[in-house]
Amino acid sequence: MVRHNDAALRVALIGYGLAGRVFHGSLVRATPGLTVTGIVVRDYGRRAQAALDFPQAQLLARADDVWARREDFDLVVVATPPDSHAQLAREAIDAGLPLVVEKPLATNADDARQLIERAAAAQVLLVPFHNRRWDSDQLTLRKLLGEGTLGDVYRYESRFERWRPHPNPSAWRETQASEGGGVLLDLGVHLVDQALSHFGPVISVFGEVEARRGGADDDVFMALHHTSGTRSHLWAGSLSAAPGPRLRVLGSSAAYVVEQLDGQEAALRDGADPTQTDFGAEPPARWGRLVRGDEAEAETVPSEPGRWRDFYPAVEHALRTGEPPPVRGSEAVAVLEVLDAARRGAEGAGCVAMDTAASGGGGAGWPSPDR
């Protein structure tokens, strides 16, 4: 369904926790052509915050209120815990409302695949929120790969490691595996999506998934063998007292190493305005480096600015033109197939062979963040 008029597209935001308020709310507000006109939020404190942040928006008690007023909205953003994503997405599709869904699209690949089929049959736009394709380090790596600076990449190492030895009992993402909590469905989505977007689909997956603090999984390792020949080693965890580098990419001509995590999340948490020209820019002290065997001769690489703020303008463009969205649903399915395989492997299946024809997506066939 294409929106042809020039009026701002009206957005209903479902959920106003960290994801809804800090990420989606901030990025939608920064997008010309989109305006938040409805927010589904129950918690009293969050309702008060939503009223301050978006005084023009109507505060709603339930998602059903959005479906009942479907003619009042042009886009729905689902920013609730993962176990509710599939059901809310189905309801939005049945209401004929285009939608963005916070990652993961669903808690498993089968549910995600059914959503994609349902949306296609209803001709409803569905866009997974895989925003970390627009991280500074990923955009810089994409540039280096395009220039051939690294040569043939044979190993890609990527980490989201933290030191949180004591879980927060009030944080569902750390304690409630039943709600889709845990690092596999949180940080693991980004790790796998980034790897697939650079190096294509995979032949096999090996996984280790542990819940060392009790509750949801908090220590994950995945080894991916891509059809391109590259091998990806991916870590996500809350028990890394000595975190490794954010990225280490080894090629036949050089290695690219980035020590620290992209700063956009921290900036948004601190209240930064995504419309500021320097939003997403990394200071030189945080730039990565090219290494050719001798760290003493490493070459600093200026980091491309991170561009999370490009996601919603691309969604708005897709709604108005019918062109492909910034992230396709099939790509979210491919990511979840890898995560499902990693979990099966960790449960005793060992190294899991993948059906690359079924999973689809990957590599140059995926939309570039630069498009």
12, 172, 173, 200, 271 from 50: Cα distances, Å: 12, 21, 22, 40, 14
Domain boundaries, given as residue ranges, for the chain: 9-129, 133-308+337-365
pLDDT, one tens digit per residue, over 160-219 is 999 988 877 666 666 666 667 899 999 999 999 999 999 999 999 999 999 898 888 999
Read off the pLDDT of residues 316-371 as tens digits, 9 standing for 90 and up: 999 999 999 999 999 999 999 999 999 999 999 889 999 875 544 444 334 555 54
Report the DSSP beta bridge partners of residue 126. 99
Tokens of 147: 């220039």
Cα gap 255→244, rounded to integer Å: 15
Domain spanning 9-129 has what CATH number? 3.40.50.720
| Helix or strand run (H / E) with residue 119 | helix 109-122
In 3D space, the residue among 33, 9, 163 whose CA is nearest the CA of residue 97 turns out to be 9
- pLDDT value at residue 81: 93
State yes or no: pLDDT of 64 exceeds 90. yes
* CATH superfamily of the domain spanning 133-308+337-365: Dihydrodipicolinate Reductase; domain 2 (3.30.360.10)
Q: What are the pLDDT digits (tens) for 290-311?
A: 999 988 889 999 999 999 999 9
The SS3 assignment for 133 reads helix
The answer to whether the peptide bond before residue 245 is cis (omega within 30 degrees of 0) is no
pTM: 0.93
